[in-house]
Amino acid sequence: MSTITVKTAEKRFPTAKNLYGIFFEDINRAGDGGLYPEMLRNRSFEDSIPPVECETEQEDYAIITPAGWRDEFNHGEGLSRWIRENKTEYTPIPAWYSENAEMKLDREDTLNEKRCAALAISFLPQGCIYNTGFTGIPQKAGEKYHFYMFAKAEEPVKVDLLIEKDNEIWCGTEINLCGKGYQRYDYEFTAGKTAGNAKFVIRCQKGGKLKLGFTSLMPVDTYNSHGLRKDLVEKLKNMHPTFLRFPGGCIVEGFTPSTAMRFHNTIGPVWERPSHLLMWHYRTTNGLGYHEYLQLCEDLDMEPLYVFNCGMTCQARNSVLMEGEDLEEMIQDTLDAIEYAVGPAGSRWGKVRALMGHPQPFKMNYVEIGNENWGPDYEERYLKCYSIIKERYPFIKFVANSHVEEKELPVDIVDEHFYNSVEYFAENIHFYDNYDRKGPEIFVGELAVLRGPVGQLYAAMGEAMFLIGMERNQDVVTLASYAPLLDNYHYYAWYPNLIIFDNLQSYCIPTYYAWKLLGGSRGNHVVASKDTTGVLYRPVSGMPSLLGPAGVRYRKAAWDGKTVRAVHEVMGHEAASEEEFIISEPDEEQKAESAKMGVKLDEVLVVLGDNETAVKGTFEIEIFAEEGREIGIGVYSSRIPKEVYMNDETHPPREWNAGIVRPFQWRIKDGRSTFMDYQNSVPLAAEVPVKLIMGTYNKFRYTVTGREMSLYVNDELIQKAEVPQFPAMASVVCDTEDEVIVKIVNIAPEPDDITINLDCEVQSNYLAGILTGEKHDENTIEHPEKVQDIELRLLGASSHFIYHAPAYSVNVLQLKKKKITKG
Ligand code: AHR
């Protein structure tokens, strides 16, 4: 039984009009074969070619950069898992197969200087080559598909272009090829039947030779005829997004200088756009390029937010810094990109835009300098980019990746990213309450529950709590987007993603509907409101652990009176010596693993005992104290659910690794005792003085109940703390002249009859948009619409009424204000 008290007369601040946007990155094969509905995979025949700077190893299993970063390559097929799950048969030229024909790459005689391969084919009589697309070539009965190719036939040759399924020809034509050099050939297919997994075949009855420079097969019917897949754009539109952050993400950074995104590579005729390997294990042909993104923004009335490489490759993947001319080149690339968007049709790049069919400028009011970059190298490059671009385009708002204002650098907006658990998001509903109102605006550019019930309704609840927190602070948080956006069902590299598709259909995870609901009703002002509600505790369980510098000496460790030993040696190893145990240095493998997991732990971490589900209990231990040595005891040590994304799936980390064992940490050093939620970097109890007897064993004890945690030294209570908690219900209220919009998230497992008190009269009938279901509900390819929002017309609103919020629900109530008539 919660209460929401609303004072519409007290306007807090105007709503941020661009708060709800989208972030597109080409990950999970979201571009070619997805939003950009090219149906031929490896249409430019370049997939098996590693980036210029890279070597391959283990028969092309991996590429390795000069800076030492490895990634699965598999001869251009990408992740081993994709090959396994999609039952991809080996072919030297990914997606292209031959029967009675020989295929090889020609690296010299290519279509143009931007192409680094052509496909040379020698057909025997009845020979053919075929492309299997992105797990098949999709066909929808009655739909038209446009094929074109640049081909070279020294001698006249006749081929059939066919769509086939299970050796049955569905449609096709015969064409004669001849002429000097590469010639373009076009053909339109009309599909007779529907299937997601046909083949595209080039058959040569009589035999002959042919060279292909570039090929393409795409549906004719695209969103606004602008070349993008209709059902996907419609799903984006239904979210009411106000901006598009593009083109990434890590792909902007690249993992070598040649794989960094550049505007110049993504404009002009698609067959003249260089292709390149993306961070996410496949190559893009850049058909989905800068112009296409700007056009999408215009079509959906979104502000473009262009992220550009600021002269450094991905810092999480052994960064390479660009200097001198290389850096200048990157900055010039961005200047040209901005001119392309907003320059007059007569300007150098405005002219190119006009040639692409858009003489009028597009919008470009936001640019982001780099993606997930930080530190002095970033700051130096940030300032350089900022100064040059600002001088030329003073109206643009600049987004930084880190809090550069703390280094006294100029900035309009700072982009913050959050990937965490449901509880993290719910506990951090007040994250922005105390942000400096005079500081930069905040863009929550990437946010998602990445641990635990990912892609399920409960994940959407945690995220929605955080969104409520952002809405309450939209005088500071002015932009937000979920990440990542799109996922080809057969090629995921990262999960969850908002929208999942295969060749014929698409569906959304529950989070999509929460964003759709919350982003769909914005109001003009955030008004004063107050929640009264219960609390929920973070679910905790697990055993004690020892942390701190190597060489910890302990004895008599017991959990509920029973002796425990180091069962999980996450970092370091336990050795017994007489009556005591000593934890030694982590070995090289453990250190490398910890670095790979992104925690770079340089100390020991061993878990004592094996009961991962223990919620209540008492732990006792004696630890040897020495001057200057830190003592660390972990409380509730267990494996937090792991992230679904893994860098090298073929070499997964150990089950108990430093990345996923992150207990609460009780630390004692130099006479002070602290108790921290290490995962969220927040103190659980105030720091206190503590006295240890040096040069001997001291007694440490803690008791836990699932709610309370008490820490004792030598039988004296030192600190008491509560397990982190979060509100069971949270709301934010906005209004317009005519409406009061009450947004409510009930993250509790029970329904809540919420009393809503308003300072104004409203009509009895109102609209409620609701997303609800069972905690672990999710949508699947078989049941794509199991969880989705519904709209109800309800009666009974007044200045004091009860709204029944279902368990696990996001609710948006649109209450109509009663007009006060005079006299
Ligand atoms: O959204 C997936 C990735 O997460 C993005 O590429 C990157 O910015 C972040 O690390």
Distance 467 CA to ligand 1 centre (A): 19
The amino acid that residue 362 corresponds to is F
Query: Can you tell me which atom of ligand 1 is nearest the CA of 372?
Result: 8
pLDDT for res 822: 60
Tokens 């792991």 locate to 642
Q: Which residues pair with 730 in a beta bridge?
A: 745
CA–CA separation, 288 and 248 (whole Å)? 13
Closest CA to 156 of 131, 172, 174, 129: 174
Per-residue model confidence as pLDDT tens digits over 582-614: 999 999 999 988 988 878 788 999 999 999 999
CA–CA separation, 248 and 485 (whole Å)? 11
Does residue 248 line the site of ligand 1, with CB under 6 A? yes
- Collapsed DSSP state (helix, strand, coil) of residue 595: helix
> Any residues with CB less than 8 A from the CB of 513 and at least 6 apart, and which?
460, 771, 787, 788, 789, 810
- Collapsed DSSP state (helix, strand, coil) of residue 566: strand
Does residue 510 line the site of ligand 1, with CB under 6 A? no
- Collapsed DSSP state (helix, strand, coil) of residue 405: helix
CA dihedral 518, 520, 524, 526 (to 10 degrees): -10
Distance 29 CA to ligand 1 centre (A): 14
Per-residue model confidence as pLDDT tens digits over 382-391: 999 999 999 9
b/e burial code for range 40-59 (CB count within 10 A of at least 16 → b): bbbbbbbbbbbbebbebeee
The pairing of strands 800-805 and 486-488 is unpaired
Assess contact for 434 and 470: CB atoms under 8 A: no
> Any residues with CB less than 8 A from the CB of 161 and at least 6 apart, and which?
147, 172, 173, 174, 175, 187, 189, 200, 201, 202
User: Cα separations (Å) of 366 from 31, 291, 363, 395, 427?
Assistant: 23, 16, 9, 9, 31
Q: Does position 330 have pLDDT exceeding 60, yes or no?
A: yes
Q: Does position 73 have pLDDT exceeding 90, yes or no?
A: yes
Does residue 448 line the site of ligand 1, with CB under 6 A? no
Q: What is the DSSP letter of 134?
A: T
Which pair of structure tokens corresponds to residue 401?
């990746």
CA–CA separation, 603 and 620 (whole Å)? 22
Helix (H) or strand (E) holding 208: strand 208-219
- Strands, sheet with 303-308, edge to edge from the N-terminal-most edge strand: 22-23, 243-246, 303-308, 366-369, 397-400, 413-420, 441-449, 477-480
CA–CA separation, 406 and 374 (whole Å)? 12
**Secondary-structure percent of the chain, ordered helix, strand, coil, rounded to 5:** 15, 40, 45
CA–CA separation, 281 and 642 (whole Å)? 21
Distance 27 CA to ligand 1 centre (A): 9
Which pair of structure tokens corresponds to residue 71?
């990634």
Does residue 28 line the site of ligand 1, with CB under 6 A? no
pLDDT for res 399: 98
- Collapsed DSSP state (helix, strand, coil) of residue 419: strand
pLDDT for res 579: 87
Query: Can you tell me which atom of ligand 1 is nearest the CA of 645?
Result: 2
Query: Can you tell me which atom of ligand 1 is nearest the CA of 23?
Result: 1
Percent of the chain with pLDDT over 90: 94
pLDDT for res 640: 84
Banded pLDDT at 577 (limits 50, 70, 90): confident
Q: Does position 823 have pLDDT exceeding 60, yes or no?
A: no
Distance 732 CA to ligand 1 centre (A): 29
Mutate to test the pocket of ligand 1, among 372, 420, 486, 492 (most ligand atoms within 8 A of CB): 372
- Collapsed DSSP state (helix, strand, coil) of residue 241: coil
Q: Which residues pair with 136 in a beta bridge?
A: 133
The amino acid that residue 18 corresponds to is N
Q: Does position 298 have pLDDT exceeding 60, yes or no?
A: yes
Q: Which residues pair with 71 in a beta bridge?
A: 63
Distance 419 CA to ligand 1 centre (A): 9
CA dihedral 194, 196, 198, 200 (to 10 degrees): 110
Q: What is the DSSP letter of 700?
A: E
Tokens 């892609």 locate to 455
Does residue 503 line the site of ligand 1, with CB under 6 A? no
Cβ-in-10-Å burial (0-12, 13-18, 19+) of 549 comes to middle
Q: Is the peptide bond before 496 cis (omega within 30 degrees of 0)?
A: yes
Distance 308 CA to ligand 1 centre (A): 14
Which pair of structure tokens corresponds to residue 522?
């914005």
Per-residue model confidence as pLDDT tens digits over 612-625: 999 999 999 999 99
pLDDT for res 821: 65
pLDDT for res 641: 77
**HSE-CB of 392 using CA atoms within 13 angstroms:** 15
CA–CA separation, 31 and 81 (whole Å)? 19
Closest CA to 217 of 153, 138, 141, 289: 138
Which pair of structure tokens corresponds to residue 29?
């094969």
Name the closest-CA residue to atom 8, ligand 1: 249
CA–CA separation, 49 and 46 (whole Å)? 6
Assess contact for 35 and 232: CB atoms under 8 A: yes
pLDDT for res 651: 82
Q: Does position 414 have pLDDT exceeding 80, yes or no?
A: yes
Name the closest-CA residue to atom 5, ligand 1: 249
Distance 332 CA to ligand 1 centre (A): 25
Assess contact for 24 and 245: CB atoms under 8 A: yes
Count Cβ atoms below 10 Å from residue 155 Cβ, excluding itself. 9
**Domains assigned to the chain:** 3-13+727-817 (2.60.40.1180), 15-27+227-523 (3.20.20.80), 86-219 (2.60.120.430), 543-723 (2.60.120)
CA dihedral 390, 391, 394, 397 (to 10 degrees): 0
- CA–centroid distance for 35 within its chain: 16
Query: Can you tell me which atom of ligand 1 is nearest the CA of 248?
Result: 6
The predicted model scores a pTM of: 0.96
Which pair of structure tokens corresponds to residue 295?
């056009």
Assess contact for 44 and 214: CB atoms under 8 A: yes
Three-point CA angle 43, 45, 47, nearest 5°: 100
Q: Does position 652 have pLDDT exceeding 90, yes or no?
A: no
Helix (H) or strand (E) holding 159: strand 157-165
Query: Can you tell me which atom of ligand 1 is nearest the CA of 280?
Result: 6
Does residue 643 line the site of ligand 1, with CB under 6 A? no
Query: Can you tell me which atom of ligand 1 is nearest the CA of 316?
Result: 10
Distance 509 CA to ligand 1 centre (A): 18
Per-residue model confidence as pLDDT tens digits over 76-109: 999 999 999 999 999 999 999 999 999 999 999 9
> Any residues with CB less than 8 A from the CB of 155 and at least 6 apart, and which?
178, 208, 209
> Any residues with CB less than 8 A from the CB of 77 and at least 6 apart, and which?
47, 83, 88, 94
Per-residue model confidence as pLDDT tens digits over 446-493: 999 998 999 999 999 999 999 999 999 999 999 999 999 999 999 999
CA–CA separation, 144 and 168 (whole Å)? 19
CA–CA separation, 50 and 56 (whole Å)? 7
The pairing of strands 144-152 and 208-219 is antiparallel
The average pLDDT across 257-276 equals 98
Q: Does position 648 have pLDDT exceeding 60, yes or no?
A: yes
Does residue 313 line the site of ligand 1, with CB under 6 A? no
Q: What is the DSSP letter of 34?
A: T
Helix (H) or strand (E) holding 796: none
pLDDT for res 644: 66
Cα Rg, the chain, nearest whole Å: 30
Query: Can you tell me which atom of ligand 1 is nearest the CA of 279?
Result: 6
Per-residue model confidence as pLDDT tens digits over 191-223: 999 999 999 999 999 999 999 999 999 999 999
Specify whether the backbone of 28 is left (phi greater than 0), alpha (psi in -120 to 50) or beta: left
- Collapsed DSSP state (helix, strand, coil) of residue 128: strand
CA–CA separation, 460 and 383 (whole Å)? 37
Q: Does position 524 have pLDDT exceeding 70, yes or no?
A: yes
- Collapsed DSSP state (helix, strand, coil) of residue 675: strand
Banded pLDDT at 179 (limits 50, 70, 90): confident
The pairing of strands 664-669 and 631-637 is antiparallel
Cβ-in-10-Å burial (0-12, 13-18, 19+) of 786 comes to middle
> Any residues with CB less than 8 A from the CB of 217 and at least 6 apart, and which?
38, 39, 40, 43, 137, 145, 146, 147, 189, 200
What is the total residue count of the chain? 823
- The separation between the first and the last C-alpha atoms of the chain, rounded to the nearest angstrom, is 39
pLDDT for res 182: 97
What mean pLDDT, rounded, does the chain reach?
A: 96
Does residue 483 line the site of ligand 1, with CB under 6 A? yes
Assess contact for 105 and 117: CB atoms under 8 A: yes
Does residue 685 line the site of ligand 1, with CB under 6 A? no
